[in-house]
Amino acid sequence: MSSALRSVVQQSRRSAFVRSARFASTSTKQATLKERLAELIPAEIQNVKETRAEHGKKSFGPVLVDQLYGGMRGLPALIWDGSVLDPEEGIRFRGKTIPECQQLLPKAPEQVTSLSKDWAARAAIPDFVEDILDRCPPTLHPMSQFSLAVTALNHDSAFAKAYQQGVSKKEYWQPTFEDCMDLIAKLPNIAGRIYRNVYGRGKLPAIDANKDYAYNLATLLGFGEKSEFVELMRLYLTIHSDHEGGNVSAHAGKLVGSALSDPFLAFGASLNGLAGPLHGLANQEVLIWLRKMQSKIGQNASDEAVKEYVWATLKGGQVVPGYGHAVLRKTDPRYSAQREFALKHLPEDPLFKLVGQIYKIVPGVLLEAGKAKNPWPNVDAHSGVLLTHYGLEEMQFYTVLFGVSRAFGVAAQLIWDRALGAPLERPKSYSTAAIQKIFKDKQ
């Protein structure tokens, strides 16, 4: 057998081994998420070990100096199995596209129910965190309040406590898991409190242990009575959860987590990254931009007037929010999933129609302008329109919902990183003088 063939056979045996562990059925039905992870981790550790033994010393392609200066675009630098982003096709979660997930899930309703109950039981936030939020001025951006509250949850971190007590490396994932479950569980109460405090929406209702996460989140925000909004939250939470490992929020969480900062500190970093206008804040920016456009050129404006407005944005040295992407080169399937939802539930909504009109105009303008590598819409171009339709009109709050959703991906990554013994991240930086010297010496 040639070495290449041997390598393929070994790889396929390994994948089969991991797959068989992942889909081993006997205990799956009854197991809790934590028990299931405990079953899966040994096979994944073995998988990584063998992959490194076989491929660890192989080159993964050249690094261009432009990548050092250019935000590391396309630089292979991280491992994350939870989701993978293809430039043409978009995101796959554990190998499944968004339409496939919509068809297949939920696959294990009993487990989903018990997980929902577990999150409901962990949902209360400490009094002092409530105090922090209640003392924030309503003028403090909701994302800053969100980040403050999440960081403060580290007061009760199981991981930080276990580390102080000398927990073994092999056990790191277990207190990390507990912190991640607490983190996810507490987010609806944090988000709900921020929304109600900032916009004067009265007291928070209690979590209902017999309802799912999306229903409870919607209820705490004050929209639980609207079943379509609850359905929207199910879609929203899923499609925003993860977008492979290199985006700012996912990578910030992984980076900070690699210092063994606990999940609250690590996810606080994710939120601070998500709060930037080139990342998650773009969903707020899209609505602000749309509203400004409407006030400038009126509602039901002609294609020509919209086109002129888009050009004016570009000529003013600003980006068109909700368009472009660092990796994607086609329309984001997360945009398409939201568009399908809108076509089903709110086809006549005027703002939805405007978003559709813009979809026909912006890509052509961006192409003609000739700078953006991807002229197509991303997830943020659509989400605000759906939220606005159901009455959640406070656009400064939108990125908080993105943050609640992103916790699922970041938490999963933190748990797996601790289970697989991911080391401290420490890439090498160079000075411009060093770059010049290296290549001068090579001439």
For ligand CMX, the binding residues (CB under 6 A) are 73, 247, 278-280, 282, 314, 319-326, 371-374, 378-380
Give the max Cα distance, the chain: 71
Distance separating alpha carbons of residues 379 and 94, to the nearest angstrom: 19
Cβ distance to ligand CMX smaller for residue 279 or 382: 279
Q: Exposed (0-12), middle (13-18) or buried (19+): which is 386, by Cβ within 10 Å?
A: buried
Backbone angles phi, psi at 149, to 5 degrees: -65, -45
For ligand CMX, the closer CB: 137 or 317: 317
As measured in angstroms, the least distance from the Cβ of 228 to ligand CMX is: 24
- Annotated active-site residue in 279, 332, 389, 417: 279
Q: Which residue is nearest to ligand CMX (CB)?
A: 324
Q: Helix H segments across 153-172?
A: 158-164
Handedness of CA 365, 371, 376, 377 (dihedral sign): negative
How many Cβ atoms are within 10 Å of 60's Cβ, its own excluded?
A: 9
Structure tokens, 300? 């039901």
The least CB distance from residue 376 to ligand CMX, in Å, is 10
| Residue recorded with tokens 């404006």 | 301
Could you tell me the smallest distance in angstroms from the CB atom of residue 259 to ligand CMX? 24
Active-site residue, from 240, 325, 382, 389: 325
Active-site residue, selected from the candidate residues 182, 262, 380, 417: 380
What secondary structure does DSSP assign to 1-60, as a single string? --HHHHHHHHHHHHHHHHHHHHH--TTTTT--HHHHHHHHHHHHHHHHHHHHHHHTTS--
Q: Is 325 one of the annotated active-site residues of the chain?
A: yes
Bridge-based pairing of strands 90-93 and 83-86 is antiparallel
User: By C-beta, is 216 or 331 nearer to ligand CMX?
Assistant: 331
User: Looking at residue 323, what DSSP letter applies?
Assistant: B
Establish whether the linkage from the previous residue to 106 is cis, with ω within 30° of 0. Answer: yes
Report in angstroms how near the CB of residue 264 gets to ligand CMX at its nearest.
22
CA 440/CA 158 separation, integer angstroms = 52
Contact of 202 with 196, CB cutoff 8 Å: yes
Question: In sequence order, what are the residues at sequence separation of 6 or more whose Cβ sits closer than 8 angstroms to the Cβ of residue 128?
Answer: 152, 155
- Nearest distance from C-beta of residue 241 to ligand CMX, angstroms: 13
- 380 catalytically annotated: yes
AA letter at 409: G
Question: Active-site residue 303, yes or no?
Answer: no
Minimum CB–partner distance for residue 297 and ligand CMX (Å): 19
Cβ(386)–Cβ(335) under 8 Å? Answer: no
Give me the active site residues, please: 279, 325, 380
